[in-house]
Amino acid sequence: MVTIAQCQRLQTAWFAALANATGGKTFSTHGSTWAWLPARRELMLMFPERISAAGVRPALAEGARLGAATVGVWLNGSVDSAGLAGLGFEPGWQPWWMAAPVAAPASYDAGAARLTTAVAEYRGPLARELRVVNGQPRQAWHAEIRTSEGISGAAYSFYPSGMHGLEGLGGIFNMEVLPEYQRRGFGTALLSRSARAAEEAGARHLALNATPEGFALYSQRGFSLVGRGRTHWLTL
């Protein structure tokens, strides 16, 4: 059974992989773990056990030095977030953690979805983040689906094999189908192709964080709700 703690650990590992691939870094301040994601100029605090000014203020100063535009805090639902308001943070969107046996989404027709390491249309942050596929060729994959007009949807799958506490657990990240191409089965195809890549690498389960809009698709493709988290955001 996949736990919320594992979902959180997987999200942290994904951000660490993105940071490493895009010239960022991870660091700690008084027990708080941070990921600097330069492609989007985002600094992320990952699931602290408690909020303390001593853990946050030094990182905010470092974020300003690095040129961060926004600072995000990812929280377990049980953590008291009251201290964040005094530091200027505002509540943001709510991650819905979901998980499934990898064979469930992998069993659907992958259709025209395929794995790729280069996307001609990608520019800026999207192009930089694609480096994670080349930097972690046995742990990260990018799936895309195209029509005659060009790319219509994409997703990443990630399996940090050998990481303690995540044995057999992979993830789906940044899955998106452009609005004009939704309800054509493209989301299912991307999910299937992404799941198969992780399954072939050894994953037995998959986890993801869903928006309320994505919940309907994922729940119909074998995923079950594990729990809900919280995010808070600050603009620098």
**pLDDT(202) > 80:** yes
pLDDT at residue 161 in the model: 82
Q: What is the CA radius of gyration of the chain?
A: 18
Over residues 104-127, the mean pLDDT reads: 95
Average pLDDT, the chain: 94
Asked if 222 and 56 touch (Cβ cutoff 8 Å), the reply is: no
Query: What pLDDT score was predicted for residue 134?
Result: 87
Domain 98-226 has CATH 3.30.420.270: no
Number of C-beta neighbours around residue 180 at 10 A: 9
Q: Show me where the domains of the chain are located.
A: 4-96, 98-226
pLDDT attached to residue 138: 82
Q: Which two tokens stand for residue 127?
A: 């192009």
Q: How far is CA 206 from CA 14, 100, 173, in A?
A: 13, 5, 11
Report percent pLDDT > 70 for the chain: 100
Q: Is the pLDDT of residue 206 over 90?
A: yes
**CA geometry: angle 12, 161, 156, nearest 5 deg:** 60
The answer to whether residue 211 scores a pLDDT higher than 90 is no
Least Cα distance to 206 among 214, 220, 216, 194 occurs for 194
Residue 156 pLDDT greater than 90, yes or no: yes
State residue 103 phi and psi, 5-degree precision: -65, -20
Task: Using pLDDT thresholds of 50, 70 and 90, give the confidence band for residue 135.
Answer: confident
pLDDT per residue as tens digits for the range 92-102: 999 999 999 99
Backbone angles phi, psi at 50, to 5 degrees: -155, 160
pLDDT of amino acid 214: 87
State whether residue 227 is helix, strand or coil: strand
Query: Of 161, 185, 155, 189, nearest to 173 (Cα)?
Result: 155
Any idea how long the chain is? 236
pLDDT at 105: 96
pTM: 0.95
Give buried/exposed letters for 205-221 (b at 16+ CB in 10 A, else e).
bbbbbbeeebeebbeeb
Looking at the chain, the whole-number percentage of residues with pLDDT higher than 90 is 87
Segment 15-71, tens digit of pLDDT: 999 999 999 999 999 889 999 999 999 999 999 999 999 899 999 999 999 999 999
